[in-house]
Amino acid sequence: MSDLLGERAGFVRRIGLLQAIAINMSQMCGIGPFVTIPLMVTAFGGPQAVIGFVAGAVLALADGLVWAELGASLPGAGGSYVYLRQAFQYRTGKLMPFLFVWTAMLFIPLGMSTGVIGFVQYLGYLWPGMSQAQGDAVGLAVTVGIVVLLWRRVERIARLTVVLWTVMIAAVGLVVLAAFTHFSPERAFTYPAHAVELTSSHFWVGFAGGLTIGIYDYLGYNTTAYMGAEIKRPGRTLPRAILFSILGIMAIYLLLQIGTLGVVDWREMLDPHSTAGSSVASAVLERAWGRTAAEAVTVLILVTAVTSVMTGLLGGSRVPYDAARDRVFFRPYGTLHPRHRFPVLGLLTMGGIMAAGFLLGRHTDLTTVIQLLTTVMVLVQSLAQIAAVTVLRRRQPALHRPYRMWLYPLPSLIALVGWLVIYGYADRNAPGRHPVEWSLAWVAAGLVAFLGWARHEREWPFGPKRISEEYLRGADPDAAAAGAGTPLPQPD
């Protein structure tokens, strides 16, 4: 009976630790490293590109500790929406959560569109004669297919994700194994002259570009935080899922990056039209084990790409749901499917934006999409969440915190510096694309939309601030019986 009541109230906590790790790692790995190794080499100008993956891991770990504390203490649907709503409601009402949902509706599906772009790139290895129009059609068909796959109950998707996660591990493992059976240390570790010249501005521009690509590859460690209302014992599960995912993917990426550089000459990766530039993992397999083995593993990589996009869209579609329930976003986004209990309009809207982002990337380049989604994300989500940890510690000291950030505030400061470096160098790493200007324009449009919405709803600054501290007063979800449905705390 309690499980049934939980379903009527909203989401039900059914996702355990293994499934949470699988969801995070599937989203983190996906197609990302298979398409960004050449981009990283281009940014650094040589095999010293491994620095970018290490720097991305440091930023991911620091930022992951921010997510771990917030997710464990505020385990609601929407992730950042909940954290920013609770932290900034005292001074600016619902401005920050509104802006987050506004920007998330753009940067989350843009991130997923890169997975579809990578899918089409690797499909080109199996279909060498594929035209631009055919590639566009395939990508759009994959987007529609993923939305259809998500049109079901979350626990069925979680079980499917564990299966697909094993495919992802197999794909990465086979590429790493093939690379190290034909590994050349001289090829991997022979750097060009002045490769790491810390006094050169050229190095730091490349470092910022590599850091952007590196953190893009790690993005996804927060996927289950968006699904906090569906996680069993979130105070324990979310921090562990975040940290285990980052550490696991860090080990995989380093092996993959170094192994690839030991098989394929980095100069070949500078040509985006070559096999090494467009589908470098297939190139590794072909040189190590032959064409047949390369084609077989390429199929696994295609499955991995679909898995990554599916899990990212699964978590992202939950973002506008909690905002709509709290009347901070358009109210139709607060409706769940009557039978399968997932947010219908959020899924459909993000699916549509993902399709548009795919076409944008196909007719410009992948780096443009990565720079755009990163700059939009940094302004409202990344920087604001770092501040939210400190604000909540001061505003809600009695909030139940099953996990408290290690070495506070050092991880917050490291994350702050990393995100500022990415944002500050974005225009220089995407010449002519103006990602900083576009991000500022998008946030400005969000401010205008917020003022219109606030005036209509008579919210601050046109009405009183409505303080809601439901997590401060609510029951501890970790205390619920294992496996029982746990209804969400309801806002005032």
What domains can be seen in the chain, in order of their start residue? Answer: 15-463 (1.20.1740.10)
Q: Report pLDDT for 151.
A: 80
Residue type, 382: S
38 forms bridges with which residues in the sheet? none
Q: What is residue 6's predicted lDDT score, i.e. its pLDDT?
A: 37
User: What is the C-alpha to C-alpha distance for residues 411 and 120, in angstroms, rounded to an integer?
Assistant: 37
Classify residue 204 as exposed, middle or buried by CB count within 10 Å of its CB (0-12, 13-18, 19+): middle
What angle, rounded to 10 degrees, do the helices at 80-92 and 95-126 form? 150
- Mapped onto helix, strand or coil, the DSSP state of residue 172 is helix
Gap between the terminal Cα atoms of the chain: 25
- The predicted pLDDT at position 1 comes to 34
Partners of 77 in beta bridges: 227
Q: Which pLDDT does position 154 carry in this prediction?
A: 59
- Cβ(278)–Cβ(365) under 8 Å? no
The pLDDT, as a whole number, for residue 485 is 44
d(CA 335, CA 345): 8
∠ CA 333-241-36 to the nearest 5 degrees?
Answer: 80
The confidence score (pLDDT) of residue 140 equals 96
Q: Report angle CA 353, 357, 359 to the nearest 5 degrees.
A: 120
pLDDT of residue 367: 86
3 state DSSP class of 109: helix
What's the pTM? 0.85
pLDDT recorded at residue 81: 83
pLDDT on residue 308: 78
List own/partner pairs for 35-38 with CB under 8 A and 24 or more apart. Answer: 35/114, 35/117, 35/118, 35/121, 35/122, 35/278, 35/366, 36/213, 36/216, 36/217, 36/366, 37/256, 37/257, 37/260, 37/261, 37/269, 37/280, 38/269, 38/270, 38/272, 38/276, 38/277, 38/278, 38/280
Q: CA–CA separation, 54 vs 211, rounded Å?
A: 9
**What are the pLDDT tens digits along the chain (492 aa)?**
333 333 334 567 888 898 899 888 877 877 888 889 999 999 998 899 999 999 999 999 999 999 999 999 999 877 888 899 899 999 999 999 999 999 988 998 998 999 999 999 999 999 998 999 999 999 999 999 998 888 876 556 666 666 777 887 888 889 999 999 999 999 988 888 878 888 888 889 989 999 999 999 998 898 888 888 889 889 999 999 999 999 998 998 899 999 999 999 999 999 888 899 889 999 999 999 999 999 999 998 898 888 878 877 877 787 787 777 778 877 788 888 677 677 888 889 999 999 999 999 998 888 889 999 999 999 889 999 999 999 999 999 999 999 999 999 999 999 999 999 999 999 988 888 899 999 999 999 999 989 988 888 888 999 988 888 888 876 677 765 444 444 444 443
Instruction: Count CB neighbours of 361 within 10 A.
Output: 23
